Copies of this chain bind each other. A is one copy, B any other.
Amino acid sequence: MTNLRHVMALAALTTGLLAQETNADPLLVAQWQQVLERGLEDGRAHDTLARLVAAAPHRLSGSDGAAAAVEWARAEMTRLQLTNVRLEKVMVPRWVRGTATATVVGTDEPLGVLALGGSIATPAKGLEGDLVMVRSFEELRALGDAAKGKIAFLNRPMPRTLMDTFRAYGQAVPQRSNGAIEAGRVGALAVLVRSMSTRISETAHTGAMAYDPTVERVPAAALATAHADRLGKRIAAGETVRIRLTMTCETHPDVESANVVGEIRGTTHPDEIVLIGAHLDAWDVGHGAHDDGAGCAHVLEAMRLIRALDWKPARTIRAVLFMNEENGLRGGTTYAADHLAELPRHFAAIETDRGGFVPIGFDTTATGAKRDLIARLAAPLRANGMGAVIPGGGGADISPMGPHGVTLIGLLVQSHRYFDHHHSDRDTIDAVNDRELQLGACALAYLATALADAR
């Protein structure tokens, strides 16, 4: 659209866009406006993300890339002149993807596959089996012996009708997490899981999976949604589809890695902590730009903004870039264990791990007066559609602190595009918009400071 008169009229009229009645504290409104303007005028979140993915494009726990990411993050926090910059040791698993190939036997039609994280390899020469397609574990179990010696093909899509794609993910992802266990139970040779994506494409999406020590381990791979649809139609039409799958994954002994920590010390209550965190590790496909490079950029940019604005929070704001969220959560569990004595002085912990999209609000474990406080602090963001406060878990890395009474908060962002990119080759920085990413950093800087100053 270009019509000038029209644009000028709109410019005048949309000033109050979405400026609902929020009854927000004018001082908090001013603080939000200050960080929003500074962040949009002179934001560095996207630059920070660009430097992270350049320094460590692949940073799966235990890899050289993850070690490079740890060193990069320490250097960044030092450059930002944070206090008490340190590495906190975490022992992490080391799984190496190797290669994965799959073809339809007879046609040599190649399929978009990726090993699931933690899978065993196939035999070196690969394995071959007919697909048995199901949409649920109940269907798989009902097959009984009919699945024996076959490849279990779990083809339940993420439901597209849900507005919140994380809900859709929650409904489909047990296929990935537990598919190998269920396939092993019925004597299948391997399991092929439809990729967790709302997009129909030839790109496979990886992710974590588990084995059960009491069940035979079988190789597990993700299949691109376009190929899952194509094979699904052929099978539904009565065709027998036979697949050859070859994967060379390796699991090595645990290695030492670290959470990276830095602080802005509180002026009046330095021993009380508001933690802001994200995870530094990422799957080794794509560059983890949204998952969770965006969260790392949010955290580092929030710390930069707080310093740049010369805000002096009463409590300490502690940035933690956790290691190993994707395949073990060792960073999160180690932090909670190592800081056990200090957890009662954690006033709140905020996690950002939903991508670099437009913020919509926060979820929190808080109830009662603490929940009301968070809602009051978030009120200024409601004028921008970013201040919803709903019940929720906050995030995986901070979750081990929950049982110790720490208030957990998660930054929520729009979820429509997340699963186009998540855990795939498509999770690259060109998919992260500068302004959208920056808004998340502004929201995080604001809420962390407001919590650090709250009476």
Beta-carbon contacts under 8 Å, A11-27 to B: 11-18
Q: Which residue of B lies closest to A417 (CB)?
A: B433
Q: Does residue A399 face the partner (Cβ distance < 8 Å to B)?
A: yes
Copies in the complex: 2
Beta-carbon contacts under 8 Å, A146-171 to B: 160-167, 169-171
Q: Which residue of B lies closest to A39 (CB)?
A: B161
Q: Does residue A453 face the partner (Cβ distance < 8 Å to B)?
A: no
| Distance between Cα atoms of A9 and B171 in the complex (Å) | 11
Given A36-B163, A435-B198, also A13-B354 (CB < 8 A): no
| Distance between Cα atoms of A327 and B4 in the complex (Å) | 11
Interface stretch of the complex, out of A50-58, A255-263, A304-312, A356-364: A356-364
| Distance between Cα atoms of A423 and B161 in the complex (Å) | 33
Given A16-B390, A17-B388, also A1-B416 (CB < 8 A): no
| Inter-subunit contact A4/B40 (CB<8 Å) | no
Q: Does residue A144 face the partner (Cβ distance < 8 Å to B)?
A: no
Q: Which A residues are closer than 8 A to B by beta carbons?
A: 1-18, 36-37, 40-41, 160-167, 169-171, 173-174, 177, 198-199, 207-208, 279, 291-292, 325-327, 329, 353-354, 358, 360-361, 363, 384-385, 388, 390-393, 395-396, 399, 412, 414, 416-417, 420, 423, 433-436, 439
Question: Top 5 closest A-B pairs, CB basis?
Answer: A11-B170, A3-B396, A1-B353, A416-B435, A11-B167
**8 residue pairs bridging A and B, Cβ less than 8 Å apart:** A1-B353, A8-B170, A10-B392, A17-B163, A36-B161, A40-B161, A40-B162, A41-B161
